[in-house]
């Protein structure tokens, strides 16, 4: 029996563990080593250069701009998405006391959620057309008809990144509306009723009961959205001009990793960028979880 057992365990684990080792764990270890080499070109022989790549990154203007754009998205995508989603979820579920839901709440939820199932690439292609700078895009047609000059956010170095931000929020909000609505629905009704008897109004109920009780969900969403903001690739690569342009005004770290590795064949340098991205992502996740945990202890 014991012999059968051991063979069974080994047999069931062999293939998944092998695949995972070959395609995930070993590339991960290799990346850390390649980042310390000057490997350039598919057939070149890599040479160990220590932390040279990382030193060069600190002076690489394009990469620093890319990192800056990621940090801006990191600062804005989570609060905007979560703020809008909380507002919509609150409007959809009513103020909790009567548990009256807005008419058509189910339909709103279905519509809001839909962008989430679309591939990011499709969303990017869609908005590339909508924001077309000539007079015929969906955005510009009514503007020009009213006599305004057409706008081209994707062709404008000051506006393009805001277009990226808008698209990211546009796609993400619906998912969090559904998540938060479910959270609100699971809060016991008596809590709202008791507070309402004590004279709390709609806004106070939301701030004092709904929000604190959704805390864990909001925290998980914040980490998730933050990691997504640091990992942005498809929207930038497909929607913006020149894959991160115009003039590097929308580029992000992931796009620079891809560009350096697969357009310029700078494999060592690209791996160093990947390591930086990994460190920032992990640092952010740990920071959010730490900060919010401390607060929670203070409250209790």
Of residues 120 through 159, those in contact with other proteins by CB under 8 A are 120-122, 124-130, 136-138, 140-142, 145
Peptide bond into 246 cis (omega under 30): yes
CA–CA gap between residue 198 and residue 192 (Å, rounded): 10
Q: Which of 76, 211, 213, 238 binds other proteins (CB under 8 A)?
A: 238
Is residue 271 close enough to count as binding other proteins by CB under 8 A? yes
Is residue 230 close enough to count as binding other proteins by CB under 8 A? yes
Is residue 221 close enough to count as binding other proteins by CB under 8 A? yes
Residue with the two structure tokens 């057309």: 129
Is residue 213 close enough to count as binding other proteins by CB under 8 A? no
Count interface residues toward other proteins (CB under 8 A). 92
Is residue 222 close enough to count as binding other proteins by CB under 8 A? no
Pick the stretch among 52-60, 61-69, 74-82, 256-264 that binds other proteins (CB under 8 A): 256-264
- Considering beta carbons, is residue 129 or 157 the nearer one to other proteins? 129
Are 232 and 67 a contacting pair, CB within 8 Å? no
- Considering beta carbons, is residue 39 or 209 the nearer one to other proteins? 39
Q: How many C-beta atoms surround the C-beta of residue 58 within 10 A? A: 9
- Considering beta carbons, is residue 195 or 285 the nearer one to other proteins? 285
Is residue 264 close enough to count as binding other proteins by CB under 8 A? no
Is residue 236 close enough to count as binding other proteins by CB under 8 A? no
Is residue 284 close enough to count as binding other proteins by CB under 8 A? no
User: In the window 6-35, what residues touch other proteins (CB under 8 A)?
Assistant: 6, 8-9, 12-13, 15-17, 19-20, 22-28, 30-31, 34
Q: Which of 88, 113, 86 has the alpha carbon at shortest distance from 102?
A: 88
Smallest distance, other proteins to C-beta of residue 198, A:
20
Q: Which of 280, 274, 269 has the alpha carbon at shortest distance from 55?
A: 269
Residue with the two structure tokens 């006599």: 147
What is the end-to-end Cα distance of the chain in Å, rounded? 51
User: In the window 58-87, what residues touch other proteins (CB under 8 A)?
Assistant: 84, 87
Are 60 and 257 a contacting pair, CB within 8 Å? no
CA–CA gap between residue 198 and residue 23 (Å, rounded): 59
Are 181 and 93 a contacting pair, CB within 8 Å? yes
> By CB neighbour count within 10 A (0-12 exposed, 13-18 middle, 19+ buried), where does 176 fall?
buried
User: In the window 193-212, what residues touch other proteins (CB under 8 A)?
Assistant: 202
Please give the C-alpha separations between residue 84 and each of 176, 180, 212, 268, in angstroms, as whole numbers.
Answer: 9, 11, 17, 41
- Considering beta carbons, is residue 15 or 297 the nearer one to other proteins? 15
Smallest distance, other proteins to C-beta of residue 234, A:
5
- Considering beta carbons, is residue 16 or 50 the nearer one to other proteins? 16
């Amino acid at each position: 029996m014991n012999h059968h057992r051991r063979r069974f365990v080994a047999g069931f684990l062999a293939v998944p563990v092998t695949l995972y080792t070959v395609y995930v764990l070993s590339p991960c270890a290799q990346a850390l080593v390649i980042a310390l080499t000057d490997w350039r070109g598919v057939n070149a022989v890599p040479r160990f250069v220590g932390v040279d790549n990382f030193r060069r990154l600190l002076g690489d203007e394009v990469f620093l701009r890319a990192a800056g754009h990621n940090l801006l998205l990191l600062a804005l995508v989570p609060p905007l998405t979560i703020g809008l989603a909380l507002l919509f979820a609150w409007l959809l579920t009513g103020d909790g006391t009567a548990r009256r839901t807005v008419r058509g709440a189910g339909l709103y939820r279905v519509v809001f959620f839909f962008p989430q199932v679309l591939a990011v690439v499709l969303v990017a292609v869609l908005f590339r057309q909508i924001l077309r700078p000539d007079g015929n895009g969906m955005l510009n047609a009514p503007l020009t008809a009213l006599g305004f000059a057409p706008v081209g956010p994707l062709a404008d170095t000051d506006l393009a990144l805001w277009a990226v931000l808008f698209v990211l929020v546009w796609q993400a909000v619906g998912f969090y509306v559904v998540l938060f609505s479910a959270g609100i629905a699971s809060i016991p009704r008596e809590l709202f009723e008791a507070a309402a008897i004590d004279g709390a109004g709609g806004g106070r109920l939301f701030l004092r009961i709904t929000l604190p009780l959704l805390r864990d969900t909001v925290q998980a969403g914040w980490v998730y959205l933050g990691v997504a903001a640091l990992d942005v690739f498809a929207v930038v690569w497909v929607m913006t001009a020149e894959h991160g342009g115009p003039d590097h005004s929308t580029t992000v770290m992931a796009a620079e990793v891809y560009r350096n590795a697969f357009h310029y064949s700078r494999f060592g340098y690209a791996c160093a960028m990947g390591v930086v991205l990994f460190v920032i992502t992990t640092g952010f996740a740990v920071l959010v979880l730490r900060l919010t945990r401390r607060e929670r202890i203070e409250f209790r």
